[in-house]
Structure formats: C-alpha cells, structure tokens
Structure 1
C-alpha cells in the first residue's frame, strides 16, 4: 500500500476514493439525522453534481498519466 501512495498518481487515486467515502458517509449521516429524510430532487441533484465533479477529477488524472507517458 505504501509504495502505491509514493507516486503522485497513486496519491490522487487514493484521495479521490477518500472523497467518495466522505460523500457517502455524509449522505448516510444526513439521512439518519434528518427526520424528514432526503428529498428525491435534492438527492439526484447533489449526487449528479458530485458524480460529474468526480468524473472530471478522474479524467484529469488519466490525462496526466498520458502526458507523462505512463500507459500502464
């Protein structure tokens, strides 16, 4: 695990997964603590926006890999 985090790309991937985990835990905590629940429209908007953000994040990592010549 440590050797994966020593590279920049490994760190970026681990950070992305960590952000996704925080988002999921935050949504779950909000759903449990909010007596009214999470509205469908709000949930779809928030999740859709987060999905687009993470998609751009991981695409930018892939572009950086291609620029560096690392095709593995």
Structure 2
C-alpha cells in the first residue's frame, strides 16, 4: 500500500476515493439527522455537481498519466 501512495497518480486516486467517502458519509449523516431537510431538487443538484467535480478530477488524473507516458 505504501508503494502505491508514493506515486503521484496513486496519491491522487487515494485523495479522490477519500473525497467520495467523505461526501457519502456527509449525505448519510444528513439523511439520518434531518431526513426532510433537503428536497429532491437540491439533492439532485448537489449530487450532480459533485459528480461533475469528480469527473473533471479523474479526467485530469488521466491527462496527467498521459503526459507522464509521453515524457519517457
């Protein structure tokens, strides 16, 4: 595991997974604490925006990997 995190790409993937885990824990906590607090429209916007953010994040990781492979 340590070898995986010593590379830039491995670290970026770990941070992305951690970010998604924190987001999911936050959604679960929100649902438990106040189940009627967020409407469907707001929830779709929140999850949709987060999905777009993570999509751009993982696309940028892929671009970074492609740049590294071209340098060799």
User: Structure 1 66/34 Cα, relative in aligned 2: closer, same or farther at 3 Å?
Assistant: same
Q: What is the aligned partner in structure 2 of residue 2 from structure 1?
A: 2
Within 5 A, what are the aligned runs for 1:1-72? 1-69=1-69
Please give the secondary structure, in 1, of the residue aligned with 2:56.
helix
**1: distance between equivalents of 2:9 and 2:52?**
20
* Number of corresponding residues: 70
Q: TM-score, normalised by structure 1?
A: 0.91
Q: Which has the higher helix share?
A: 2
User: Structure 1 6/37 Cα, relative in aligned 2: closer, same or farther at 3 Å?
Assistant: same
Please give the secondary structure, in 1, of the residue aligned with 2:26.
helix
Q: Which runs of 5+ in 2 are unaligned?
A: none
